[in-house]
């Protein structure tokens, strides 16, 4: 065996992952962790200094004053690279939103087997935002109109995409002045590609202006549409008990792991797995039943709505297969490693692709169709059950944690204000008084180039000590879940005293799991409602809040960061910067980097930065929050002001053993 370049602890901070990486070595198999160690990134490409958009190149710019064959300068090349990544990310989220809209249309017309409209109240609320009549109309009629409106947003050519009306007034005016309101979702993505074709837009600031517009078509367009419709069809999340990590796989059951992003298929697999006919089929095969779990954002979707456990985040996909206990890994779109298929060859696991958009050579393809969703879901489960007999030796790490996800903005609103007075007032008050210093959204991927989960959880833990309320989505949320940070009582003693008081009073964990990556749109809604509630300024850029993607890797993360910036947030990316340049070798190679920070801040009040050092990330987050507090004239944050809470009930609970404490707080935890 080749000498290890990093220790297991350097590759992942998750003990379950470390155990499986040892297993991979024993079996002589590679993973993204080991391949990252073996694959040195191209330093010119990594710095964003390579252009390959035409056949006269690729052009690598490594000297002062050098240009590409066409004359393109380094900043133009970097801006083009960045906008192309943002466009791809926006396209991925928005295409997901489009498919949700088609599903809603099919459900409204009785053409989608197995689905129903679960949240009629949300349907009515959302429809009335757009002036769709709701009085004396059936849910199907309303849903049909909403589906038509949403489908139209993708191909719309002029005007502004409809969900934009949900942003704060001042922000909308600013976007109008800047000319960045998206006209149609597809139009902005296509224009980004057009503008970056050889011989088109050459002015980096002008290119990046359109990057903002493109990203807004994601955050206030496709992603928001995806979240709305998921809630309408599958229910708006509310707190529920779940579990996370590879220990959720079971030795005596047929393990089916759903991996990817769209809830349309995974929700149907959940339904099918509870069908008596399927359970019986599994028993006949000698298993106790079907055990479903998720990876990546599909995991988040079914975790926060159905309490289905999460087997892990992005870097757990190969590790799940390495357990030898997975009968089928069912994938749809996004973040699916091609390596799965080759790895699965060493086990009995079947990788099943399901999307008409995604096929992998060597995988079984069972195409999903929302018109026959339940039938397809059952077919997939039968395939998995048939495979149970082929299972060999298994190795499941006995590591899992409980968590309580499901903090939609609707639920937060209700929880903070109660049924009769639903409002964000208590949250705003807590920030204004300084009990809560500010809010951080910690989101995004895993990246094998850093230590898995470490950046997410370290930043989270440090900010909690500093009384910063943390909201999370995506793979970041699963990282915290695995560490037990998404359970209120576990570790409240590690939380600042003021924040702790709020958590105890309201009964929330200090880290709120708000869903999948398209659900970052929920964070935009929360910020907007905080503005509307009053006391924290009249636009998002005045709120003491920061967005962080410490372990980002996907292009979607860049789109998310850009629309959050354009909405007024300070956004920090960890790890590497795709446009870092090499200012020590090429003096002008950091122009774009400076522009998306200082330049964008002047225009939008938000800024985007790439910061590799984790302590610097935390320092700048706190400095930004404190500056925003000062600008609002709020009292300076004082860690001593709210001494440790004497909440009697909490002290009683603390005397109980952990399992009983959890049961008292959250009801009986799932086994």
What residues make contact with ligand XCC under the rule CB under 6 A?
Answer: 261, 296-297, 313-314, 335, 444-445, 474-475, 517, 554, 556-557
CB of 198 to ligand SF4, least distance (A): 4
Closest to ligand SF4 by CB, 51 vs 352, is 51
Strand pairing of 59-60 and 50-51?
A: antiparallel
DSSP SS3 for 59 = strand
Query: Least distance in Å: CB of 55 to ligand SF4?
Result: 7
**Alpha helices in 516-582, H assignment, sequence order:** 520-533, 555-566
Helix, strand, coil distribution of the chain in percent, nearest 5 = 50, 10, 40
**58 near ligand SF4, judged by CB under 6 A:** yes
CB of 148 vs ligand SF4, minimal distance in Å? 41
User: 44 or 374, CB closer to ligand SF4?
Assistant: 44
User: Which residues between 37 and 56 bind ligand SF4 (CB under 6 A)?
Assistant: 51-54, 56
CA atoms within 13 A on the CB side of 111: 11
Name the one residue in this structure whose structure tokens are 């692709």. Answer: 353
Pick what 297 binds: ligand XCC, ligand SF4, none; C-beta below 5 to 8 Å, kind-dependent: ligand XCC
Residue 58 interacts with which of ligand XCC, ligand SF4, none, CB < 5 to 8 Å by class = ligand SF4
Burial class (CB in 10 A: 0-12, 13-18, 19+), 633: exposed
Nearest distance, CB of residue 240 and ligand XCC, angstroms? 20
Q: Would you tell me the crossing angle of helices 74-108 and 139-155 to the nearest 10 degrees?
A: 160
- CB < 8 Å & 24+ apart, contacts of 636-644: 636/434, 637/434, 637/437, 637/467, 638/434, 639/466, 639/467, 639/496, 639/497, 639/498, 641/434, 641/498, 642/434, 642/435, 642/497, 642/498, 642/501, 643/497, 644/497, 644/500
Token pair recorded at residue 297: 């954002």
Q: Which is nearer to ligand XCC, 310 or 381 (CB)?
A: 310
Closest distance of CB 314 from ligand XCC, Å = 4
User: From CA 239, how far away is CA 405, in angstroms rounded?
Assistant: 5
Task: Give the strand pairing for 364-365 and 290-295.
Answer: unpaired
Shortest distance, CB of residue 276 to ligand XCC, whole angstroms? 33
Residue 72: name its binding partner from ligand SF4, ligand XCC, none (Cβ under 5 to 8 Å by kind). Answer: ligand SF4
69's contact among ligand XCC, ligand SF4, none, with CB below 5 to 8 A by partner kind, is ligand SF4
Q: Whole-number minimum distance, CB 474 to ligand XCC, in Å?
A: 3
Q: Which of residues 68-87 bind ligand SF4 (CB under 6 A)?
A: 68-70, 72, 77
592 neighbors 80 (Cβ within 8 angstroms): no
| 198/603 with CB nearer ligand SF4 | 198
Residue nearest to ligand XCC (CB): 445
When CB distances are held under 5 to 8 angstroms depending on the partner's kind, the choice from ligand XCC, ligand SF4, none that residue 296 binds is ligand XCC
Residue 351 forms beta bridges with which residues? 329
Q: Total number of residues binding ligand SF4 (CB under 6 A)?
A: 14
**54 vs 193 by CB, closer to ligand SF4:** 54
d(CA 404, CA 159): 41
587 is in the binding site of which of ligand SF4, ligand XCC, none (Cβ under 5 to 8 A by kind)? none
Q: List residues binding ligand SF4 (CB under 6 A).
A: 51-54, 56-59, 68-70, 72, 77, 198
């Amino acid at each position: 065996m080749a000498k290890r370049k990093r220790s297991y602890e350097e590759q992942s901070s998750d003990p379950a992952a470390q155990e499986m990486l040892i297993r991979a070595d024993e079996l002589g198999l590679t993973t993204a962790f080991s391949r990252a160690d073996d694959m040195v990134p191209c330093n010119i490409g990594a710095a964003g200094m390579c252009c390959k958009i035409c056949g006269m190149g690729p052009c690598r710019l490594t000297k002062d004053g050098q240009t590409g064959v066409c004359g393109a300068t380094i900043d133009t090349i970097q801006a083009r690279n960045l906008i192309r990544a943002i466009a791809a990310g926006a396209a991925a989220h928005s295409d997901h939103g489009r498919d949700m809209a088609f599903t809603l249309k099919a459900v409204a017309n009785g053409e989608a087997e197995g689905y129903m409209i679960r949240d009629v109240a949300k349907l009515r609320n959302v429809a009335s935002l757009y002036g769709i009549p709701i009085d004396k109309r059936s849910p199907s009629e309303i849903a049909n109109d909403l589906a038509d409106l949403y489908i139209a947003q993708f191909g719309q050519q002029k005007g502004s995409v409809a969900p934009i009306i949900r942003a704060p007034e001042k922000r909308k005016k600013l976007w109008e002045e800047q000319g960045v309101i998206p006209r149609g979702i597809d139009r902005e993505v296509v224009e980004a590609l057009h503008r970056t074709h050889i011989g088109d837009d050459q002015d980096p600031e002008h290119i990046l202006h359109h990057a903002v517009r493109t990203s807004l078509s994601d955050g206030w367009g496709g992603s928001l549409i995806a979240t709305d419709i998921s809630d309408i069809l599958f229910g708006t999340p509310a707190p529920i008990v779940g579990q996370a990590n590879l220990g959720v796989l079971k030795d005596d059951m047929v393990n089916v792991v759903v991996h990817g992003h769209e809830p349309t298929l995974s929700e149907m697999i959940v339904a099918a797995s509870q069908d008596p006919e399927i359970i019986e089929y599994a028993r006949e095969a000698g298993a106790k039943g079907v055990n479903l779990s998720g990876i990546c954002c599909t995991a988040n979707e079914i975790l926060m709505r159905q309490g289905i456990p999460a087997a892990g985040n992005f870097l757990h996909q190969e590790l799940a297969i390495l357990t030898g206990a997975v009968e089928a890994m069912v994938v749809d779109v996004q973040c699916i490693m091609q390596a799965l298929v080759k790895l699965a060859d060493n086990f009995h696991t079947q990788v099943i692709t399901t999307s008409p958009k995604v096929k992998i050579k060597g995988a079984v393809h069972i195409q999903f169709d929302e018109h026959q969703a339940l039938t397809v879901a059952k077919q997939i489960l039968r395939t998995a059950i048939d495979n149970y007999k082929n299972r060999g030796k298994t190795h499941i790490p006995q590591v899992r944690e409980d968590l309580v996800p499901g903090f939609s903005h609707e639920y937060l609103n209700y929880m903070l204000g109660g049924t009769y007075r639903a409002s964000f007032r208590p949250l705003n008050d807590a920030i204004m008084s300084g009990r809560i210093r500010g809010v951080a959204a910690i989101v995004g991927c895993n990246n094998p180039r850093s230590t898995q989960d470490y950046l997410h959880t370290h930043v989270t833990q440090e900010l909690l000590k500093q009384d910063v309320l943390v909201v999370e989505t995506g793979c970041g949320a699963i990282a915290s879940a695995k560490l037990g940070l998404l359970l209120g009582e576990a570790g409240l003693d590690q939380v600042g005293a003021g924040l702790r008081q709020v958590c105890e009073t309201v009964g929330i964990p200090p880290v709120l799991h708000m869903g999948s990556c398209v659900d970052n749109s929920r964070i935009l809604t929360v910020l907007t409602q905080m503005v509307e509630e009053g006391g924290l300024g009249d636009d998002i850029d005045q709120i003491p809040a920061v967005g962080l993607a410490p372990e980002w890797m996907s292009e979607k993360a860049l789109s998310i960061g850009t629309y959050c910036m354009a909405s007024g947030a300070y956004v920090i990316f960890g790890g590497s910067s795709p446009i870092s340049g090499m200012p020590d070798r090429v003096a002008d190679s950091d122009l774009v980097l400076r522009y998306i920070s200082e330049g964008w801040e002047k225009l939008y009040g938000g800024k985007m930065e790439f910061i590799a050092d984790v302590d610097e990330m935390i320092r700048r987050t706190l400095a930004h929050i404190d500056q925003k507090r000062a600008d609002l004239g709020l009292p300076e944050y004082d860690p001593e002001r709210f001494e440790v809470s004497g909440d009697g009930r909490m002290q009683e609970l603390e005397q109980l053993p952990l399992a009983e404490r959890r049961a008292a707080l959250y009801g009986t935890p799932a086994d």
